[in-house]
A = this chain, B = another copy of it.
Amino acid sequence: MAKLNWGMVGGGKGSQIGPAHRLGAQADGNFTLAAGALDHDADAGRAYAQELGVAPDRAYGDWREMLAGETARDDRIDLVTVATPNSTHFEITKSFLEAGFNVLCEKPMTMTVEEGEEIVKIARASGKICAVNYCYSAFPMVREMRHMVQSGQVGKIRLVVANFSHGHHGDAGDADNPRVRWRYDPAMAGVSGQFADCGIHALHMASFIACDEVETLSADFASTIPSRELEDDAMINFRMGGGTVGRLWTSSVAIGRQHGFDIQVFGETGGMRWRSEDPNQVYYTPVGGRTQIMEKGEAGLSDEATRLSRVAIAHPEGFPLAVANIYVDLAAAIRGEPYGALPTAEDGLRSMMAVHQAVASAKADGAWVNAVPDLLK
């Protein structure tokens, strides 16, 4: 099977997310890095792209140049990944979609609800793939949890409890560090700090596993380091369409929690929990029974969990391969083959609605607000 051509905007030298995407795209042999506009410094970006094996004529100085160049080619890239600063996601994603490219956009997809609605409309009109990198949903055992919900193994879901709380922004002495500070500055981060950064991953996962959508929410935000304008700690209560109760805590000042992303799902006939730092296990308890440790790769898992794991039971697979699983499904989708539950532009829009409504709720002392974008009603 011929490899697909892949391009990347952003993710230059020193970027955190760039290597994860390159590994994810290449790990399973589906994509070749064929084009790139990797850096806001045009020369640096061109040089780095070539260092990574991109041909000189496809090592672009900026995304507009890349869009023009690729559009003009017969062997144009099959997929572009947008891994630039958040505020630029909208424009770049929009432009590539309109030009007929498939796009994988880093989260958050946009900065506003309106932009999110525009992307959804464009994606729908284009018939192209617009995926958002909610990669946690691509861990095999997360897919297994979703399967267990779908197949009724834990009954109707009563309650979802999700946490995404780390402590890496907990040092007040470090609060002026540019790497940290921008996250809490509305000029750069928009209306929300920690919730927009990590909380939306957890909110997406709650919906993804429970197979339901958040309808209403109530938020309590705090800036526990007082110099911060945006929140560094937030609690979101929510309700899903089917009545499921939700609790979501996210924090960046929880010193001692390293990544701190975990989720618990409680149904009528069983409970499950999963942690992103030990992603190869699910702890499952049937009502009235003992807790069982489910292992990635064990016999009898769903086809979906099996398809997305690569090595035998108890050989751990980690975060980069969850990203790779997104690319596995993108490759399948591009080739017209069956694929799994790719996160979509609609998911990106829902996140943006949740961010803006959580901010509104927090400002209104936790008043309950609607969380469903008009477009998706």
| Chain A residues proximal to chain B, CB less than 8 Å | 1-3, 16, 19-20, 22-23, 26-29, 33, 51-53, 158-159, 161, 165-168, 170-172, 218, 220, 222, 224-225, 233, 235, 237, 245, 247, 249, 251, 253-260, 264, 266-268, 270-273, 276-280, 283-288, 290-295, 298-299, 310-321, 365-368
Contact = CB atoms under 8 A, between A and B. Distances in A.
Contact of A170 (B224, B225, B266, B315): B266
A27 B232 CA distance: 35
Given A245-B233, A271-B170, A311 B19 contact: yes
Nearest to A29: B26
B235 A312 contact: no
B255 A270 contact: yes
A278 to B, nearest CB: 7
Interface centre among A158, A225, A365 (most CB of B within 10 A): A158
Top 5 A-B pairs ranked by shortest CB distance?
A256-B285, A259-B314, A258-B314, A255-B271, A256-B271
14 contacts: A161-B254, A167-B287, A170-B266, A171-B288, A218-B220, A224-B245, A255-B285, A259-B314, A279-B316, A290-B292, A293-B293, A311-B319, A318-B321, A366-B366
A153 to B, nearest CB: 12
Nearest to A220: B237
B320 A258 contact: no
Contacts of A251: 159, 161, 266
Nearest to A174: B288
A53 B292 contact: no
A224 B159 contact: yes
Contacts of A271: 167, 170, 254-257
Contact of A258 (B266, B267, B295): B295
Nearest to A268: B172
Given A16-B312, A256-B273, A318-B317, A1 B53 contact: yes
Contacts of A167: 266, 271, 285, 287
